[in-house]
Amino acid sequence: MTPEPPFGADGRMARLALLVTGRLASWGGVVFWVAVLGAALPFALKVGSVETSRLTEFLPSEAASTHALELDRAFPSGRAQRAEVVYHRAGGLTSADLALAAAGGRQLSSRLGRGIGVPSPPVEAADRQVAVSVVPVFGNETTVEHTVVAMRAVLGDGTGGLEIRVTGQAAIQADLLGAFSGADGLLLVITAGLVAVLLAATYRSPVLWLVPLGCVAVAEAVAQALLYALGRAGLTVNGQSAALVTVIVFGAGTDYALLLTARYREELRRHPEHRMAMIVAWRRAAPAIAASALTVAAALACLLPASLNLTTDFGIVGIVGVLSAAVVVLGAYPALLLVMGRGVFWPAVPRVAPEFVHRGAWAWVARLVSTGRRPVWISGLLLLGSAGIGLFSVDTNVSSLSELPSSAPSVQGYELLAGNFPPGEISPVDVVVTDAKRLPAVRSALGRLPVTASLGPVERAGSMARFDLVLAVAPTGRTGFGAVERIRAAASRVAGDGVVVGGQTAQDLDTAHASHHDTLVVVPSVLAVVLVVLWLVLRALLGPALVVVTVIVTFGASLGITAATFVPLLGLPGVDPTVPLLTFVFLVALGIDYNIFLLTRTREEVLRAGPTAGVAAGVASTGGVLTSAGLVLAGTFATLAVLPVAASREIGIVVAIGVLADTFLVRTILVPTLVADLGRRFWWPTPVARRRRTAMASTTTTSEGSP
């Protein structure tokens, strides 16, 4: 085989490759990227300073519960959040316990000053095992978190059989914030360690694995620095979104580096000069990498119009992560590889072997799938479809309290209250009447509802009034959501738009509704985007549509397995309402991502050798690297399971399962078999099909004209 010249029909890409590998493939290029790292790192380390958790920034802007939060600011209690100090003794509280509870309130007032309001006297339950004192906590979310931490330090956990826990809305928010405290650093260490192990196992080289890891480290610093700048500009950044950037950069960046390395190694067998090998490898791999990154970014951009602010912000940070990874890998990685020469692959240094033929397991798989046996890909779809039956067990009616692990102090406090006080005591419903003249009718209507345990005292501010409503049913899940809907319906009948119902349970309900609405809007947009990208990249109509179907089925199987297996196994309350949409976007984008790498290479081989041989060559040449890339990506998303918040754990599990299914079933067997089975019809109406027909006609004419 004659070495491929650096310039050809795609001369512009070749010139760009020469520019990247020429000017940057020197120590000067390496110094440039080290300077980029040095400039980005100080800002990347400050990303924690712009992380926020302002509740209104994560709720849908048009929701009633968001409006209630805004109206509450006019009332004295609206400037405070409710914390509840719970005292519990299994055998019944003693007089000494009650005296300690009363003294605790005075101690809190003395130590925390204006950070809290006046604690209420302890109120005993009927069985005398539990007493609770309500403490108003002032300030923004960060201040509330510090105050709750201070309250727990002042009161302690109790001794001699007495348990003391701080719970309530303020404590729940504090525990949610605290769950991410230090998690960014832990996640970075775990992710980097996992990627290092997987790269070392993939390359089996003492040196080579360090190069992509160093490159991804640069991309991580760039992405976090950009996140810091966006946070300063007004983007809502929290621990969850910062963790997501780390996972995307390490997963996507490592995958792009693996793909470029594999093509570079292949070209080193064809070219004696390693710079020429990199030029050819870069111009062949860069379009697929760029198309992949832009596809993921375009899919994530479909999240931007979402009504739930948290979903919109995830779209922005995801775009930052994937584009940072692609730019740094395409720009910095060739320089790092070229300054180290062929020796970077030691001890398995690739030698010039123009007639190199792929052998081993992937060559066997390639021959198997290139036969295009229809029962194989049909069985694969049926297998994934059967796993999707678990979708019927998906329950997205979960609350903020359910997001926390059972070890969280606020959860423990709620469990102590359960059965001793009305279930809704921990999370009262906030009722704001904008026209105080309608207040008596509203209180009368709501007081008669069976879901109402009690109505709190009335506060007034100008022409408005508000009061708390304690639910007689659990304020979480379907029960709590149903109660809020009944309250809103009853209030609307007597006061129309003059009453606004909020509170934590209402916020959870509105978040679930917004997530469901966003799913109906975003999902078609994502599918349209990836389909158009595949049409443009593959220049075919039928094949891309079928590939998108396989990706959708893979998502259904992943979410179904998670809901039916991992949710009960891990003791999770259900599926967070934001998880289905976010994981759909990630899995569709990443699934198309891998299919772009596979099918662009297959198309290249089909043009050269025809449909059957092209499929075999495409799978043989990409199978090993795409499997390694899939394992890395699945592993990086799986690291989200170390975070204690249910939503992050579920995102990590669903995406990891989906990527593994794509790696070992869909992209390895199902799609190649489908491509081989359909033959030229898969590529219709592209030049692949026309060129193959032309070649066949030419062969026939020659044969007929021969003597």
Query: Residue type for 91, please?
Result: G
pLDDT reading at 70 higher than 50:
yes
Mean pLDDT, the chain, rounded, equals 83
Q: For the chain, what is the domain count?
A: 3
pLDDT computed for residue 48 by the predictor: 75
Decide if 504 contacts 169 (C-beta within 8 A): yes
pLDDT band at 60 (very low <50, low <70, confident <90, very high): confident
pLDDT for 702: 34
* Strand order, beta sheet including 130-138: 123-124, 130-138, 80-88, 163-167
User: For residue 337, what pLDDT is reported?
Assistant: 85
Give the count of alpha carbons within 13 A of 441, CB side only.
15
Q: Check residue 568 and report its DSSP letter.
A: H
Lowest mean pLDDT among 13-27, 383-397, 613-627, 676-690: 13-27
Amino acid at 471: L
Of the listed ranges 228-232, 310-314, 467-471, the one predicted with least confidence:
310-314
Mean per-residue pLDDT for 558-577? Answer: 87
What is the predicted pLDDT for the residue at 672?
92
Is 504 part of a structural domain of the chain? no
| pLDDT higher than threshold 70 for residue 181 | no
Look at residue 114 and tell me if it is in a domain.
Answer: yes
Same domain, 200 and 175: no
**What is the extent of the structural domain holding 197?**
1-61+186-356
483 in a structural domain: no
User: Which of the 8 DSSP states describes residue 77?
Assistant: G
550: domain CATH number? 1.20.1640.10
pLDDT score of 203 more than 50: yes
pLDDT at position 486 is: 96
Last residue of a domain, one of 163, 179, 195: 179
Residue spans of alpha helices (H) in 269-308: 274-301
Q: What does the alpha-carbon distance between residue 474 and residue 424 come to, in Å, rounded to a whole number?
A: 6
Taking alpha carbons only, the member of 480, 474, 464, 471 closest to residue 77 is 464
Cβ 677 vs Cβ 372: under 8 Å: yes
Q: What is the pLDDT of residues 660-691, one digit of tens each?
A: 999 899 988 899 999 988 888 888 876 564 44
Residue 212, pLDDT above cutoff 60 = yes
Q: What is the CATH number of the domain that holds 113?
A: 3.30.70.260
Domain's final residue, options 140, 164, 179 = 179
Average pLDDT (187-195) is: 82
Strand partners, 87: 131, 164
Place of tokens 């989200």: 640
Q: In this predicted model, what pLDDT tens digit does every residue of 595-622 receive, in sequence order? A: 888 888 888 888 888 888 888 888 888 8
3-state secondary structure of 307: coil
Q: Are residues 113 and 204 in the same domain?
A: no
b/e map 259-292, b = 16+ CB within 10 Å: bbbbbbbbbbbbbeebebbbbbbbbbbbebbebb
Does residue 547 or residue 353 have the better pLDDT? 547
12 — pLDDT class (breaks 50, 70, 90): low
> What percentage of residues in the chain have a pLDDT greater than 90?
24
Give the DSSP H or E segment for 521: helix 504-538
Residue 230 and residue 288 in one domain? yes
Indicate if the pLDDT at residue 8 is higher than 50.
Answer: no
The number of beta carbons lying within 10 Å of the beta carbon of residue 357 is: 8
Structure tokens at 36: 């980029």
Burial of 107 (0-12, 13-18, 19+ CB in 10 A): middle
Per-residue pLDDT, 411: 85
**Shared domain check, 335 and 230:** yes
Question: What's the predicted TM-score (pTM) here?
Answer: 0.81
Average pLDDT, stretch 537-545? 87
Tell me: do 254 and 326 sit in the same domain. yes
The CA distance from 200 to 206, in Å, is: 7
104 assigned to some structural domain = yes
Flag whether pLDDT at 693 surpasses 50.
Answer: no
- Taking the C-alpha atoms of residue 655 and residue 671, their distance in angstroms, rounded to an integer, is 19
Cβ(1)–Cβ(355) below 8 Å:
yes
Give the least confident one: 226-240, 374-388, 525-539, 548-562. 226-240
pLDDT score for 283: 83
Torsion angles phi and psi, residue 83, rounded to 5: -115, 145
pLDDT digits (tens, 9 = 90+) for 334-344: 888 888 888 88
Three-class secondary structure of residue 374 per DSSP: helix
Regarding whether 381 and 277 lie in a shared domain, the answer is no
Pair (270, 319) in one structural domain:
yes
pLDDT, tens digit, 9 for 90 and up, residues 165-180:
998 888 888 887 776 6
The Cα 614–Cα 84 span in angstroms is 68
133 beta partners: 85
pLDDT above 70: percentage of residues in the chain: 89
User: H or E segment at 163?
Assistant: strand 163-167
Strand locations in 464-576 (E): 464-471, 499-502
469 lies in some domain:
no
Q: Which residues pair with 88 in a beta bridge?
A: 130, 163
Q: Is the pLDDT of residue 56 over 70?
A: no
DSSP character string of 186-220: HHHHHHHHHHHHHHHHHH--TTTTHHHHHHHHHHH
Please check whether residue 695 lies inside any domain of the structure. Answer: yes
Gap between the Cα atoms of 465 and 479, Å rounded: 27
Q: Are residues 323 and 191 in the same domain?
A: yes
Domain boundary among 330, 356, 382: 356
Q: Is the pLDDT of residue 696 over 50?
A: no
25 has pLDDT over 60: no
Same domain, 348 and 375: no
Binning the chain into helix, strand and coil, the percentages to the nearest 5 are 70, 10, 20
Question: What's the CA angle centered on 469, arms 464 and 472, to 5 degrees?
Answer: 165
